[in-house]
Structure 1
Amino acid sequence: MNKSKHQPRPLAEFVDRNFHWLALAPACAVLVLLTIYPVIEMIAMAFSTITFERASEVWKFTPVENFREFLSDDIFRVALKNTLIFAVISVLIEVCFGLGLAILVSSIGKLKGIVRTVLIIPILMPPVAIGSMWKLMYSLDFGVLNQAITAVGFQPVNWLGSTSLALLSVVIVDVWHWTPFVFLILFAAVEAVPNDVIEAARIDGAKNRSIIFRIIIPLIWPTIIVALFFRAILAFKVFDQIFLLTSGGPGTSTEVVSLHLYKVYFQQNELGYGSMLSLAVIGATIAFIWVGHRASRFMRAP
């Protein structure tokens, strides 16, 4: 009887052998519930037309009609072009500014912590507050920018109402908002560069420019690529700033993919076609990341 009490139970043995899988099971269940299932649902919606009749959904399988509408959607092509222009320009500027600020702040002494805290304030502000603030600053009649321009004798500029300046104005807001994010990532990388390497380069007669371009940047290049990809993905999904500042106007000069999707889903109530647009956006994002990855590998090649 005593021996049988000390024999391991089958359930305990099973738990011991498969504990690592059992520990991951809740996370996998949440992943399936919140990620995989909605994606499957979106794919099903992309090939259907969904209407609401008598407080219920009515699904009709119409893949050809949705695809034909996608091919004839001129606004989507304009929105995709604007999104690519916005993402490329804003991300490149943010990475350059963030890298410069990271190197500059890393070189100062006691005030480093205070300067770093001040620089990250923009990313702590709510997007609604940022959009309202910049919309007032861009105001044609009483905005602080036009007040400064007219004070020196120039005519006021219609920042948000001009088709040639509206997208650039939104890019400026995005650069102001997200450069601190890139700065934080690159600042940590610059701080991790060994001081011995920099001091050895100075002893050998290297100037500051040579140290930056031949030592610091090559050592933190992987971090630069990570920051670039993070910001590229977020910039490709831009919505709140453009929605608050221009709502896609004037005309379609600031129409972006996320805003067009919002209008298709919630204003035109075309759930099926909106899902097909979402699939197209996912494909475009993957292609954009793949091209960026190939470009980064080419730039790192000797």
Structure 2
Amino acid sequence: MQSRHLRDGRILLAPLTIFLLAMLGLPLVVDLIYSVSRVEFRTILSPEFVGLANYRSALTSESYWQAAWFSLRFGLACAVAQLLLGLFLAIFLAPLIDRRPWLLAFLMLPMMVAPALVGLMYRLILHEFVGVVPWFMFTYFGDSPSFLGPDNAFRTLVVVEVLQWTPFALLILYSAYAAIPKDVREAASIDGAGPWQRLWRIDLPLMAPVLGATFFIRFIDSFRVFDNVYTLTGAGAGGATTTMSIWVYEAFFKSGDIGRAVAASMLLLIAAWVVLSIVHRLSERRA
């Protein structure tokens, strides 16, 4: 009977397995071939094997490491800001949302807009010549910073990303906060624990796994950002706002160096696999 159930399970999983192999396995094999080949658009069907030259070219490129450093700083800044702001809003708005759950739908509206449209909207608002915000600042203060210039672009991009995706952190953290049994908080109150003690000794420890997962998800999403950065500032002056996604895009489509672009993508895949392996081992040890 057990062998029959095992056979039936394999039969049911076979279509999904074949689909995943076709949709994920085949492109991965093609990427591996292209990453060790000299290939352009005109030679895309006849790649020339060059070994690890594409990987060497990417790793020795100053612009590659500049883009990696920008993406790392951007991902960490956005993830930390969204986590802290989302946690504050989840706790502060919890009584109101408990009474009026439909308010949560309105709070989710920013992340329903396509990131490219968000970038275009803020580009029009913050543009130093036609933007509404610089016009008001010139009118009332006599001066306005260049929000999209090289000195302020990083902070502007972080603020735009945080404003759009904090609702995602709010949704997850509010769900985790609401899932904490009320009798635990009531028992702590009876024992004399104040609001801050309940927060630090009950709420945050119980929410720790969700906090870690939220931070990790938001970091990955911010690290690989493309749409709103590209529409707001593009690569920036001297590549000041070039993310890893923009670097790969420019190497692939603008320079036509498909092999180097794919090699850079494979390096990101390897780095992501290493990080996930470390996180998995740490979680197993903690468990």
Same fold per TM (> 0.5)?
A: yes
Paired with 1:201 and 1:237, the residues of 2 have a C-alpha distance of: 42
Aligned equivalent of 2:89: 101
Extract unaligned runs of 5+ from structure 2: none
Equivalence for 2:238: 251
Q: Deviations over 1:36-81 (max 9, x none)?
A: 111111111100011455x872211002432332233111010000
Aligned match for 1:48, one of 26, 37, 51: 37
Q: 1:289 to 1:86 in 2, by over 3 A?
A: farther
Q: Is the 8 A contact 2:97 2:104 kept in 1?
A: no
Distance 1:189 1:179 in 2: 15
TM-score under structure 1 length normalisation: 0.86
Q: 1:112 Cα deviation (Å)?
A: 3.4
Amino acid in the other structure paired with 1:31: L
Q: Point out the structure with max Rg over C-alpha.
A: 1
Matched, 1:18 2:7: yes
> Does 2:156 correspond to 1:181?
no
User: Secondary structure of 1:183's partner?
Assistant: helix
Give the Cα–Cα distance (whole angstroms) in 2 for the partners of residues 179 and 212 of structure 1.
21
CA distance in 1 between partners of 2:283 and 2:88 (Å): 20
Distance in 2, matches of 1:177 and 1:203, equals: 40
Task: Pick the aligned partner of 1:202 from 189, 209, 213.
Answer: 189
Is the 2:71–2:244 Cα contact (8 Å) retained in structure 1? yes
Higher mean C-alpha deviation, range 99-108 or range 142-151:
142-151
User: Would the aligned equivalents of 2:35 and 2:263 in 1 still touch at CA under 8 Å?
Assistant: yes
Give the match for residue 230 of structure 1: 217
Alignment partner of 1:217 is 2:204? yes
Matched, 1:71 2:59: yes
Matches within 5 A, 1:146-165: 146-161=134-149, 163-165=150-152
**Equivalent residue letter for 2:50:** T
Q: Return 118-127 or 74-83, whichever deviates more.
A: 118-127
| Percent identity of paired positions between Structure 1 and Structure 2 | 28
**Partner-residue secondary structure (3-state), 2:165:** helix
Q: Which runs of 5+ in 1 are unaligned?
A: 1-13
Q: Is residue 2:227 matched to residue 1:240?
A: yes
Q: Are residues 183 and 66 of structure 1, via their aligned partners in 2, closer, same or farther at CA, if it must alter by over 3 Å?
A: same
- Structure showing the higher helix proportion among its residues: 2
Residues 144 and 213 of structure 1: CA distance in aligned 2, closer, same or farther (over 3 Å):
farther
- SS of 1:63's equivalent? coil
Equivalent AA in structure 2 for residue 253 of structure 1: A
Aligned-pair distance for 1:271?
Answer: 1.2
Residues 18-45 of structure 1 deviation map (CA, whole Å, 9 limit, x = unaligned): 1100000010001100111111111111
Equivalent pair of 1:105/1:116 in contact (CA under 8 Å): no
Question: Is residue 127 from structure 1 mapped to residue 124 from structure 2 by the alignment?
Answer: no
Contact 1:225 1:296 in 2 (8 A): no
Question: Is 1:38 equivalent to 2:27 in the alignment?
Answer: yes
SS in 1 for 2:237: coil
Match of 2:273 among 279, 282, 286: 286
Query: What code does the residue aligned with 1:236 have?
Result: F
2:73 is the counterpart of 1:85: yes
Cα deviation, residue 289, structure 1: 4.6
